[in-house]
Structures are given as C-alpha cells and as structure tokens.
Amino acid sequence: MNVWKTLTDPRYYQIAVLGSLLTYGVFVLDFGIDWRNAVAIFLTAQSVQFIATKLTDAPRFDPLSAMITSLSLTLLLRTDVVLIAMIAATLAIGSKFLLRIRNKHIFNPANFALVTLMLATDRAWVSSGQWGSAAIGAFALACLGFLVLTRARRAETTLAFVTGYAALLFGRALWLGDPLAIPMHQMQNGALLIFAFFMISDPRTTPNAALGRWIFGVAVASIAFAIQFIFYQPNGAILALILCAPFVPVIDWVLSGTNYRWDQPRAQALGHSKGAF
Amino acid sequence: MRTFVFSLTVVLTLGITATAEAFCGFYVARADTKLYNQASQVVLVRDDDRTVITMANDFQGDVKDFAVVIPVPTFIEREQINVGDAAIIEHLDAYTSPRLVEYHDPDPCVLYEADEIMVSASRQDAPAAFKSRRERANGVTIEASYTVGEYDILILSAEESDGLIKWLKDNDYNIPDGAERVVGSYLKQDMRFFVAKVNLEEQSKLGFNNLRPIQVAYESEKFMLPIRLGTLNADGQQELYVYTLTRTGRVETTNYRTVKLPSNLDVPEFVQAEFGDFYRDMFTRQTELEKNRAVFLEYAWDMAWCDPCAADPLTGDELRKLGVFWLNDQRDRRIAPTGAQDVFVTRLHVRYDQEHFPEDLMFQETGNRQNYQGRYVIRRPFNGPVSCDASDYQLSVRNRQEREAQMLANLTGWDLDDVRNKITFMDVDGPAPNPVPWWKRIWQ
C-alpha cells in the first residue's frame, strides 16, 4: 500500500524534475544560484512547515510539498541577501496555512512569496532570461512526462495556459507582421515552462472543476500577455497568477468539484479532503 | 543613391593606455571597443520610466550621404533630442573594458611575512537654431524638423509604414529589404521614428570631424533596445555594446541569456602583447559555446570606484552629460555631496544577427549589486639571481606555465602546441622537470 502510494504521488516525479533542473542550472548554465540561499530556503521551509503542522489541525508533517516549494523558489528567486531568501520561504509556507478559503489555500506558495518580495523590496527579482533556449527541448519533454505520469489529471490549467499564451503570441506576431521566429523565441523560455508545469499547475490552488481550470488557465494567460506586451513589464505570468488566484474560490463556488489530495491523485470521488497542506 | 544607416555606431580614435596600480594586480592593458572595426555603442540611463539613450555612431564614408532612422518607444519633441560628446562614451568604454593585470613573483629565496606583499585595497574616490514645419505627403507627417548641433532632425509620424519607406525612397535613401515590415511592426507598437541627417554647413561651422552621438530623453515603460532594423542592412553579425547606468543594480536581458564572460583567469605572459587578439578570440569562442544566443556581461560596478582601474570612474559632470538626471535632482536639492555616485554601471556585449536574435533586446534592472569585471592575470616569474636551491620554485612555475597554456587554449580555441611554443618555460635546475611523486618526499 505504501509503495503504491509512493508511486502514485506525482510529487516525487515533480521533485525529481525540479531537482534535475536545479542541477542543470547550477552546473551547466551557471546562472548564479547562491548555495547559501538554497540552504536557507530549504531549512526555513521545512521548519515553518513543521511548526505550522504542530500549531494547526494538519494531521501529520508532510515534507514533500514544502520541498517542491523550496525547489521552485530556489529556481526562480534571485537575491543577494540570505535573509530575503529565508523570508521568501517563510512567506511561501506560511501563506499555505494562513490564507485559506474553504479548506484550500488561495495562493501558490512560491508565487505568493516571489511577488510579495519583488513588490516590497528591490533586492529580489526573477531572471526569466537565464535559461536560454538550448535545452528547451529536453526540458519540455520532462514537463510532458510529468503530465503523462500524473495521467493528465488536473492538467487542464497547464494546457489552457500554454495554448492560450501561445495563441496570443502568435496572434500578435501575425497582427504586427512579425516573423514567426519571434513568438517561437518567446515561447522557448525556461522560466515560462517552469511556471506552466510546476506553478500554475499546482492542483491545490486551481479550481476543482475541469471547466473552471480551463477558464482559469486562459485568464492567467491573457493577463500575463497584457502585462508583458501592453504594459511592457517583465514577469507577466508570475504577476498574472497572483492576480487571478483570488478568483479561484469564486470559480469553485460557481462550478462544483472536489478538492485535490496529493496522496490520492486517482481518488477524486472521495469528497472533501481535510488537512492536506 | 545616398547611404542609409539603421544601426548607430561610433568612430573612435585610439586612446592612450593608462596605467594604474591597485590591489587586484597591476593594470597593464585593456580590450576596449576599438578592437572591432565597427561596433555600435549605446548608453542607456534609466530610473523608473525615465530613459536617456545615447547612441554613438561609427559611420564610415562621406558624411553628406549619412542619415539614420532611429526608432524610439514614444513620441518625442525637439527638446528631448541632444547631441552628446563622443569623448565621454570613450571614457566609459575605457573604464568598463576587460583588463589585463600582472603580478610579479617575489624572490623565492626570501621568506616574506605572508601579509607583507598584500597591498591594501584602496578605494579610488570618484572623482541651435531651430525651425518647425509640418509637411504632409505620402501619408507621412513631418511633425517637426530642426537643427540640433550638426544634425538636421526630422520627426516623422507615419500612419502607414509604406509612407515612411516611400518618403525615404523619394529622398534617395537606400532601404534594405524587409525594412517595411519591421517599420510597420514598430508603428503598431506605438513606436516613433526620427531621421537624423548631417547638416554640412553646421558641421563645418562647428568644426567637428566626427559625427557626435545623438541623445534622446524619453519616458516609457519599455526598457528595451530596438535592434531589428539594424539586422537588416548588416553583413552578417554585428557587434553591440550596451552600457546601462542605473541606481539599483545590474541590468540583464529578460528575453536572452545574460552570461558572465570567464574572468579572473591566469594566462601566459605573452598575452600582454596579444591582449586584443586574445580577447577577440575568447569572445568569439564563448559566443559559439552559447550557440550565438547570449548577451555577455563584461562589467558591473558601482561607478564610485574601480579596482584595478582601466580608467578613472566618470566624473559627476560626465555622468550628467550622459543624462544621469538624478544627479541633477540631487544637486538641485542641495544634498551634500558624498563619496558615492549613486550610479551602477553595467556593460553588456552582444554579437547578434537576425537568425539568433529575432526579437529586440528587452532589459530589466535587478537588485544585484555584486561587482564583476573581465580581469585576466599574468604572473611574472622571478628572474633575478637566486641565492638558494630554487628548484621547487622553478618546478612550480613550470607547472603553472603549463596550466596557463591549457587555460589559454581552452578559452580561445588556440592550438595548445602553438601556445606552448610562445611560452618561455622556466629552466628547472637539477632533476628532470617531471613532477616528483609525492611519496618520495615523505621519508626524505
């Protein structure tokens, strides 16, 4: 039973992919991930997860989600202040326990921490160009593998975001009369793929109904596009997700569905999960 | 037919190589932009939405045939255009250039206190006539035209790109293929264009031989550099240097990888004579390793100091002339001058073409204030008379020279044997230069 549970929990695969990306980023791309920040993020995230589990009615300490949040933060957050890295981990995990509606947390933890710190201080940023386009093929394959392994369950958000965003980029290029090499280049962005497959896809913060997830994915894509190409600001997708997240409870209220549980990815019919953080 | 230049580049004269002494080695040479026959240089000063761009020009040919079309992210008026001073860009180039430094090995027979040879890190103190008319033809509105310095400036507001292109053609300018499409795309993105032509009368009156850089101040949320027109009329790859002057920290590209050039590496002594070749070949090899798709960071530093200095930091006056407007604000508010300049400089170097850089360069300012410089080190072996058995020292130098040779071959793609042939290897007294196995020393 336990072995089966381990195999079906998609978070192991997620950790493996994010871990490989981190290794690739550090050793091949050399894009300046400070190991002190990484250690600070991992230790802080697990500590906050542990303490919050004790203080709330969460059934048991579960390090996996905090691990994924740590990996996402390490991959995306750039800062030269270790304290900011620690605050990021605290904000991310803390938001899961504090900002909740109807037994679901509102924001994707890493997303919440990134946006809060980018807006609150000028010492934190996201280097979206640093992945280059060399290894995008292998990268996209790993992401698709993730979809297959999770049996495409709840993957509508990712599909809706990627197709919506691509349609807007190609539409813009056609309208401007630009060569298609431009939208192709814009899609080949490592940070965008991490966002699409490991952040917006988070089943704990997406709508419960399939239709809701399609609406949500397209909405995030449209706002991301507007931020990037109408207001000309970087990090459109990350900002769009946090703007759309508060509407998830509304979508859930209109379209009913069941909350997602990591340990029961196939048991969608079990009804409300209690205490999955 | 007149020549029509889309990308801006500067004519540079050869500067005097300065020397300076500091903690990070003794400065001996720099690899500035003069290494390349044609290199565009752009200075971007930015804080919030306010931007001042200075574009230097290395147009080669008869200036009477010279005209340049400059896309700007927003509509601009006459007062927003200025003619700058090429010497300041040259100074900025020199200050931020990759540098070669040297160290001299001490006499191996004299035992120094370890601290004695350290030099303390000393912070260097930072030291028109105009007429306006509206002309409408071919769907092109000449919003304004006036003379700024030696340039005649025409601000165009073309409703359709073919209008602008037709106007340029009617005025006998060469238009590269594909320009119409790019101009059309820019117009739809609310970008505007101005044309700068050389006013020969003004130029001879002013007595400038070279074309001075054009400066534009504008307010726009777009932190970008339009390079697409430039890729149209170029033969192959183009060399571009972007210097940014900001307040918070380093600037990087958000739609291309920004990569640090390998730095702080030991190279053989002969590189001093070939530093330009070394740098060019290393840059070429590194761009190839990045599949020609990367923007390279060559310098990132607080403008208040440098170590070692390839040239002194820019003065407050020079920075103001480049458009660092917040210095004016500070002066107006009579804030007591401090040592810091409140300016962070980033030097980016990119070799681009249409295939690998399809999109304009988009930038963002980051909070990264870590200093970075392209710095290469030569270590001079001690060659004075030795008063003791220096064979260990000689052996270590020989091994070091071999490592330096391999490093150089690796960085530049030069042939390792050619590199070795250029090195004067240290003569090793006594036993053969083969390294002594470590175990032989244990029980000696």
**What does the block give as tokens for A265?**
């990815």
Q: Which of A78, A185, A231 sits opposite B221 (nearest CB)?
A: A231
Closest CA in chain B for residue A176? B185
Cβ pair B228, B178 in contact under 8 A: no
Cβ atoms within 10 Å of B186's Cβ, excluding its own:
22
Q: Which of A124, A177, A234 sits opposite B254 (nearest CB)?
A: A234
Q: Which residues of B touch A185 (CB under 8 A)?
A: 255, 358-359
Residues 6+ apart with CB under 8 A from A42: A67, A70, A74, A89
Per-residue pLDDT tens for B50-75?
999 998 866 666 676 677 788 888 87
- Which residues in chain B land under pLDDT 50? 1-25, 112-134, 334-338, 432
Cβ atoms within 10 Å of A139's Cβ, excluding its own:
21
Closest CA in chain B for residue A129? B254
CB pairs under 8 A between A and B: 81
10 Å CB burial of residue A121 (0-12, 13-18, 19+) is middle
Identify which of A146, A147, A250, A268 has the alpha carbon closest to the alpha carbon of residue A207. Answer: A250
Per-residue pLDDT tens for A43-81?
999 999 998 888 887 778 888 889 999 999 999 999 989
Rg of chain A on CA atoms, in Å: 18
DSSP assignment of B234-298 equals -SS-EEEEEEEEESSS-EEESSSEEEEPP-SEE--GGGGTTHHHHHHHHHHHHHHHTTT-EEEEE
Q: Which of A80, A128, A177 sits opposite B184 (nearest CB)?
A: A177
Question: Where do runs of H (alpha helix) occur along chain A?
Answer: 2-8, 10-24, 35-55, 63-76, 82-98, 109-120, 136-149, 156-176, 181-187, 190-198, 210-229, 236-244, 248-254
Angle between the N-to-C axes of helices A63-76 and A35-55, in degrees from 0 to 180, rounded to the nearest 10:
150
| Rounded Cα distance, B130 and A43, in Å | 65
Q: Do A129 and B256 touch (CB under 8 A)?
A: yes
Question: Where do runs of H (alpha helix) occur along B302-374?
Answer: 316-322, 325-332
**What does the block give as tokens for B226?**
């339009």
Cα–Cα distances (Å) from B385 to A52, A132, B108, B382, B390, in that order, read 71, 53, 10, 9, 10
Q: Closest approach of chain B CAs to the CA of A171, in angstroms? A: 13
| Rounded Cα distance, B54 and B66, in Å | 18
Torsion (CA) B83, B87, B91, B97 in degrees, nearest 10: 90
| Rounded Cα distance, A108 and B177, in Å | 48
10 Å CB burial of residue A247 (0-12, 13-18, 19+) is middle
Interface membership of A231 toward B (CB under 8 Å): yes
Residue that wins the pLDDT comparison between B160 and A1: B160
Q: Which of B260, B358, B368 sits opposite A181 (nearest CB)?
A: B358
Supply the pLDDT for residue B128: 33
Interface membership of B176 toward A (CB under 8 Å): no
Angle between the N-to-C axes of helices A35-55 and A82-98, in degrees from 0 to 180, rounded to the nearest 10:
30
| Rounded Cα distance, B20 and B94, in Å | 13
Kindly report whether the peptide bond that precedes residue B308 is cis, defined as omega within 30 degrees of 0: yes
- A40: helix, coil or strand? helix
Supply the pLDDT for residue B439: 77
Identify which of B254, B233, B255, B214 has the alpha carbon closest to the alpha carbon of residue B354. Answer: B233
Interface of A with B in 52-81 (CB under 8 A): 78-80
Cβ pair B212, B84 in contact under 8 A: yes
Q: Do B366 and A127 touch (CB under 8 A)?
A: yes
Interface membership of B294 toward A (CB under 8 Å): yes
Interface membership of A135 toward B (CB under 8 Å): no
* Mutate: best of A76, A80, A82, A139, partner B, most B CBs <10 A: A80
Mean confidence (pLDDT) of chain A? 83
Supply the pLDDT for residue B183: 85
Interface membership of A181 toward B (CB under 8 Å): yes
Closest CA in chain B for residue A122? B367
Q: For the residues A140-155, what does the mean pLDDT come to? A: 66
Q: Which of B184, B260, B359 sits opposite A186 (nearest CB)?
A: B359
Q: Which residues of B touch A133 (CB under 8 A)?
A: 293
Q: Do A80 and B181 touch (CB under 8 A)?
A: no
Q: Closest approach of chain B CAs to the CA of A23, in angstroms? A: 18
Q: Closest approach of chain B CAs to the CA of A120, in angstroms? A: 12
β-sheet with B25-30: strand ranges across: B21-22, B25-30, B99-104, B375-380, B265-266
Supply the pLDDT for residue B132: 37
Cβ pair B303, B314 in contact under 8 A: yes
Rg of chain B on CA atoms, in Å: 26
Distance from the Cα of residue A37 to its chain's centroid: 19
Q: Closest approach of chain B CAs to the CA of A157, in angstroms? A: 24
DSSP state of A25: I
Highest-confidence range of A131-140, A172-181, A196-205, by mean pLDDT?
A: A172-181
DSSP-assigned beta bridge partners for residue B260: B297
Supply the pLDDT for residue B131: 36
10 Å CB burial of residue B74 (0-12, 13-18, 19+) is middle
Cα–Cα distances (Å) from B392 to B129, B180, B388, B398, B423, in that order, read 74, 69, 11, 10, 20
Interface membership of B188 toward A (CB under 8 Å): yes
* Mutate: best of B185, B248, B348, B360, partner A, most A CBs <10 A: B185
**How far apart, in Å, do the first and last CA atoms of chain B sit?**
84
| Rounded Cα distance, B327 and B50, in Å | 13
* Complex ipTM: 0.85
Indicate the residue type of B407: M
| Rounded Cα distance, A182 and B292, in Å | 16
Supply the pLDDT for residue B75: 79
DSSP-assigned beta bridge partners for residue B101: B27, B377
| Rounded Cα distance, B390 and A244, in Å | 72
Distance from the Cα of residue A232 to its chain's centroid: 22
Closest CA in chain A for residue B354? A181
